[in-house]
Amino acid sequence: MANILKNKLKKYFSHLSHSFRRIRSQILVSLKLFYRSRITVFLFIVYPIILLLLFGSIFASQDSYSFHLEIKDNDNTSLSQNLIQKLEDVEVLDIHYFTEDIDPRIYLQENDLHSCLVIPQNWTRFTYATEITTSNVTLIIDPTSNSARRVAQIVVKTVKDFSMSLNTSSPLININEISFHSETLSYIDYFIPGIIGVAIMNIGILGTINRQVHFRLSGLFRKLATTPITRWEYFISEIIWQFILAFISSVLIMFTAWIAFGFSWASFVHLVLVIILVGVIVFSGIGMLISQLTINPNNTFAIGTLITLPLLFLSGVFFDISGIRTLVVISKFSPLTYIVEALRASMITANYQYAWINIAISIAIGSVTFVVGVFLTRWNREKI
């Protein structure tokens, strides 16, 4: 009995080892086909970066010059004025005074602003009071704004330096940071997740079509039918390869955004990897359906382009469509919408519950398209 179980386990792991080896071989084939095709490299690597630099430069270049900071001085003493002067000496800070008698968070929300420093009443007295260990100033920022995060770093450093310049027997100045979420995002914050979504879509749909058509016309599918590799092993290798490619493309997009527009790497959270994988499954399934349902293989790539372009513009990648009711309704039929919304929820607003809702919808779409695409693929019926 023990020998029988041992032989079964040995046979199982041997089969699994052979399966992994066939999947690895197929990924290496995809890698060779990739770097041999200049148009493929352009579409999947260079094209998203060109879109990022083009639209980012047009709509978000002004963010690189200065950062807006509102200041509400309730103390209005020479010490508070000295602190404000230190902040005004920082060249990249654009200081404005907030004098209205309302909650600063409401003021920031209503005026589409992202940061405000509040100096409380009697702050100078608390600063020099021996019975109090620290005196507080309050920094209110929108954590979803890359500019606000930069302002926070600058303010913290400036206040720390100002505190050190005071008499060493005086207490330190403490910054009490309060977060709020503004209703608007800067264009570059809104744009980066959309570009990553476009890269995933192009790799999934156009990449799958490109390889499917190549394998069909070259007769490689008929040859694969004579080998031990199964259809599931082949498509798993395709998913792994496209995930690697989508991950590299996403990292390059983030790197370019970081260099050109100061976009924060902190936005690239672990959940993004899950979204990339789900997006690859969704769009590769669509690519398989297109390549299998089209009679003339030479037209599949053009049809794929005709599908990806409307998805790109109707899914809110380039601009906010929430105010256009017709587009909002149409966008619900686009799988790219759910991928982009999941990316924005995880990268920008940190609304992970909303991100998982969109991921779940994408998984439902991907399960249907991918499984149907696999079963429609019949290698022995492919013609050379």
Contact by Cβ (8 Å): 368, 285: yes
Beta strands in the chain, from DSSP E residues, in sequence order:
67-73, 93-97, 115-119, 134-141, 172-179
Mean pLDDT computed over 215-226 = 76
Q: What pLDDT score was predicted for residue 279?
A: 93
Residue with tokens 């790109």: 312
Pairwise CA distance, residues 116 & 110, whole Å: 13
Q: What is the pTM assigned to this prediction?
A: 0.58
Nearest partner of 128 among 168, 161, 157, judged by Cα: 168
- What are the pLDDT digits (tens) for 159-192? 888 887 776 555 467 788 887 665 555 667 778 8
How does strand 134-141 pair with strand 115-119? antiparallel
Q: List, by residue range, all CATH 3.40.1710.10 domains of the chain.
A: 65-179
Architecture of the CATH domain 65-179: 3-Layer(aba) Sandwich (3.40)
What CA dihedral angle connects 325, 328, 332 and 335, to 10 degrees? 160
- What are the pLDDT digits (tens) for 60-105? 544 444 678 889 888 888 888 888 888 888 877 888 888 777 888 8
- What are the pLDDT digits (tens) for 111-149? 767 889 998 888 777 766 655 556 788 898 876 666 777
